[in-house]
Amino acid sequence: MDSNENTRKKEEWLERMKREGKLTRNPTEDHKFGLKTLQNNTRRNILIFLGNGKKSYEEIKKEFNLNESMINFHLSMLEDALYIEKEEKEGTVYYFPTPRGEGFLENVEMKK
Mean pLDDT (whole number) for 11-22:
76
Q: What is the pLDDT of residues 55-78, one digit of tens each?
A: 999 999 999 999 999 999 999 999
- Dmax (CA) for the chain in angstroms is 41
> Which CATH number fits the domain that encloses residue 104?
1.10.10.10
Separation of alpha carbons 66 and 108, rounded Å: 25
Structural domain boundaries enclosing 28: 3-111
The number of domains in the chain is: 1
Please report which helix (H) or strand (E) contains residue 84, including its range.
Answer: strand 84-89
Residue 42's pLDDT is 96
Strands, DSSP E only, in the chain?
55-56, 84-89, 92-97
Separation of alpha carbons 50 and 62, rounded Å: 13
